[in-house]
Amino acid sequence: MITLWKQENRKLVAGAREDGRIWVDARNVTRDDIRELETEYGIDTEIIMDILDQDELSRIDREDDYTLIIVRLPIFLAANEVSYFTIPLGILLFPDMVLTICWADCEVLHDLTNNRVRGLNLNDLPAFVVRVLARADLIYLRYLKEINRRSGTIELELQKSVRNNELIQLLNLEKSLVYFTTSLKSNQLLFEKLMKTRLIQLDEEDRDWLEDVATDNRQAIEMADIYSNILSGMMDAFASVISNNLSIVMKRLTVISLVLMIPTMITSFFGMNVPLPLEKMPGHTALIAILVTCLASSLVAMVLLQDKKSAKKRIDPAERKRLRKKNRAVV
């Protein structure tokens, strides 16, 4: 869908093309939109395909009629398996208008069209680009904080019970952080190129603002790296917990198997052609022998399966009090 935006009373309003500078907003681009961009605005098909490529990195190029800037924007889609990821936004600067192309919708473009960005001015197109980059960094920081909160909530759930659903959610958040880190580093290279070159004419105020945006972008990179390292450590810790729990279960199963092996071996031995003990005794004697054997096996299993927690409970109360005093003195 292609929408034309003009500025009235410092606010963006949708309308037809008139005299003055406008913003051509192409979102959720269809084939008809691509055809219109090619015929109406003279955009090369290769340029459009590059912008619509989900893996396209940030860059800036100078064409004959316009300047092309591709920047990575953050996006949140709750229905996706990986809710947080990034998409490319193409910004084409013409002398009398700015044209943006994006294959999806995102919060940055919503904020622009809903007049949530201060200082937005279509009469100064380079400043318009800087405002878009600044808003993208702000959304990056917001999403990073949301990812950190979600990982903390999932961690609390995993402390209660380690389940596959929560582990998969942590894995998806880790993927999101990888996407964010890659896109932020790509944007950082774009900012440095904008400050070093004269591909777009920035005045002194816009350059200062762009330096602030680059600083925020570096902060977002550091946050993404920190959160990614924390999440990786958390995943390793829970993997160790799962391995430890599996070892405990296997130990208990092994003990049970060993205990049950004894009566099985005795039964197998006397199942051969050998005289049975107590075969001339009354019938209830054999039943008593079986019950005694089962009870003895159960007692052996209980002794072998006793954990440290049960051992702590058997400590004498006076001895426990003495150990507590000793620990406090050490502290």
Looking at residue 231, its pLDDT comes to 86
Mean pLDDT of 88-107: 88
Residue 93 pairs in a beta bridge with: 67, 98
pLDDT tens-digit series, residues 276-285: 665 566 656 6
Mean pLDDT of the 193-217 span: 86
Write down the domain spans for the chain.
2-242, 243-330
pLDDT at 145 over 80: yes
CA distance 256 to 259: 5
pLDDT, tens only, 100-121:
998 888 888 888 888 888 878 7
Q: Virtual CA dihedral for 169, 172, 174, 175, nearest 10 degrees?
A: 180
pLDDT band with cut points at 50, 70 and 90 for residue 138: very high
Q: How far is CA 215 from CA 105, 126, 219, 222, in A?
A: 26, 19, 6, 11
Strands laid side by side in the 67-76 sheet: 11-14, 2-8, 22-27, 97-102, 84-93, 67-76, 59-62
pLDDT bucket at 261, cuts 50 / 70 / 90: confident
Residue with tokens 């999403």: 143
| pLDDT category of residue 127 using cuts at 50, 70 and 90 | confident
pLDDT at 326: 46
For 161, half-sphere exposure in the C-beta direction (CA atoms, 13 angstrom radius) is 3
- The one-letter amino acid code at 257 reads S
pTM for the model: 0.75
Whether residue 6 contacts residue 22, with contact meaning beta carbons closer than 8 Å, is answered with yes
| CATH class of the domain at 2-242 | alpha beta
> Which amino acid is present at 23?
W
Q: Could you give the percent of the chain with pLDDT greater than 90?
A: 16
Give the angle 219-224-227 at the CA atoms, nearest 5°: 125
Q: How would you write 117-159 as a 3-class SS string? A: CCCCCCCCHHHHHHHHHHHHHHHHHHHHHHHHHHHHHHHHHHH
DSSP letter for 322, please: H
